[in-house]
Amino acid sequence: MAPLLESVWQYLITHFSEFQLATIGTFLIHESVFFLSGLPSIYFERSGLFSEYKIQKKSNTAEAQEKCIVRLILYHVCVNLPVMLVSYPIFRWMGLRSSQPLPHWSVVLSQIIFYFILEDFVFYWGHRLLHTKWLYKHVHSVHHEYATPFGLTSEYAHPAEILFLGFATVVGPALTGPHLFTLWLWVILRVLETVDAHSGYDFPWSPSNFLPLYGGAHFHDYHHRVLYTKSGNYSSTFVYMDWLFGTDKGYRKLKALEEEEGSSKKL
C-alpha cells in the first residue's frame, strides 16, 4: 500500500504545483467527499429507505433540500475556495509541504488526533458563542433553518459562520505545518464526521455505537430540534466538553427517558 501511495504522490507533485494541489486539489477533495457522503441521506428521506433508523419521523421537503444544495454550491465557490486560495501563503509559511517522502503513519496519526481534540475544543466555545442572542439571530439561525438535519446541512450556514467555525478546522494544521497528505486526510475525516453528525440517522454501524466519547447523529440531532436557548450539545465530534460544562443535561435526561420507554415496551 505504501509504495502505491508513494507512486501516486510522485505523479501528483510531478504534474501539478504545490499551490494547485494545496488549493484546487484540497477544494476538489472536500467537494467530492462532502457531496458523495451527504447526498445519500436526501435519498433516504425521499425514498423512506432505512426509515426505522431515522431519528426524527418528519422529513424535509424536496424544495428545502434543493435550496440547501444551491446555497451550498454558492457558499463553497464564493467563500470556501477564495479562502483556500488566499490562505495558502500562510500555510506555506507555517510549514505546509508536499514533497516526498510521505510522513510516517505515526506522525500522521498523532497529528490527526491532535487536530480532532483541538478542533472540538475551539468549536465548542465558538458554537456556544453563536448561541448567544444577537449572534444566533443574525448569524447562526441560518444553520438552524433545518430543525430536521440531513447530511448536507452540516455546512449550510451564514458566510460569517463558515469563516468563524472554519477556523476551528484549520487551526490545528496551521499550528503544526503538516504534510499536504496529512491535511487531505484531515479534511476527509472532518467532512465525514460532520456529515454523519447531521445525517439524521442512527444506524447500528454508526461510529457513535462503538467509538467512546463520539457524539454522532443522535447527539447532534437533539441540538437541532430543541430551542436555541436550551439546546446544549455544542461539541462537534466528542461529548466530553458538554459533559464537563453541563451543557448536555437535557440530552441525557431525554436519552434516559427513551431508554426507560424502550425497556417498558420490551416487558
Per-residue model confidence (pLDDT) at position 262: 66
What sign does the dihedral 175-179-184-185 (CA atoms) show? negative
Task: Give the global pTM.
Answer: 0.95
Give the residue extent of every domain in the chain: 2-266
Instruction: Give me the mean pLDDT over the 83-97 stretch.
Output: 95
Instruction: Give me the mean pLDDT over the 175-193 stretch.
Output: 97
Q: How do residues 63-83 score in pLDDT, each as one tens digit? A: 999 999 999 999 999 999 999
Tell me which long-range contacts 177-180 makes (C-beta under 8 A, separation of at least 24). 177/91, 177/94, 177/95, 177/96, 177/97, 178/95, 178/96, 178/103, 178/111, 179/96, 179/97, 179/98, 179/102, 179/103, 179/108, 180/18, 180/21, 180/22, 180/25, 180/96, 180/97, 180/98
Confidence tier at 259 by pLDDT (50, 70, 90) = confident
Decide which of 54 and 257 is more confident: 54
Instruction: Give me the mean pLDDT over the 15-27 stretch.
Output: 97
Per-residue model confidence (pLDDT) at position 266: 56
